[in-house]
Amino acid sequence: MKKTDAIKAIEAVRTSIVTNPQQTVTIENLIGTQIGGGSGTTVVAPVLGPLRGNFDTVIGVDVSTHLSVSPAMGNTVDAQVGEAAAQLDAIIAELRKPSPDKGALSRLVRGLVDKGVPAAAAAAIGPIVTAALGG
């Protein structure tokens, strides 16, 4: 794979994250309440680690999501998207160098998920970078 092709692929991931930021949101705790019908019981389901993605069901129960985003939450999402974009920009910048630093690229790729890049995208970027470097 050419470096230019790898850069285009990584730029596509970056564009996706910036234009569709909900894929970078981390859910730390999940609280559900049944409204109407049934017992109206509140269910509290602490999450043992961060979860990423869109959830239609939780333990076989249909979930309807209604979000009310506070300004603080909006700022958090903006910061997380910014970190993800910056990490991808750093990889792109390194690939554009005549002689990219493989160690730096390795560290940047390993840090993608920590910076808010969705796990599936991060898993694909590693092999793309390796192929671009002729490996």
| More confidently predicted of 86 and 37 | 86
pLDDT band at 117 (very low <50, low <70, confident <90, very high): confident
> Which of 112, 102, 103, 104 shows the shortest CA–CA distance to 132?
102
Contact between 17 and 120 (Cβ < 8 Å): no
What would the two tokens of residue 50 be? 């961060």
| More confidently predicted of 115 and 47 | 115
pLDDT in the model for residue 60 = 47
Query: pLDDT (tens digit, 9 = 90+) per residue, 12-63?
Result: 999 988 887 766 555 454 445 445 444 444 444 444 444 444 444 444 444 4
| Rounded Cα–Cα distance for residues 109 and 129 (Å) | 8
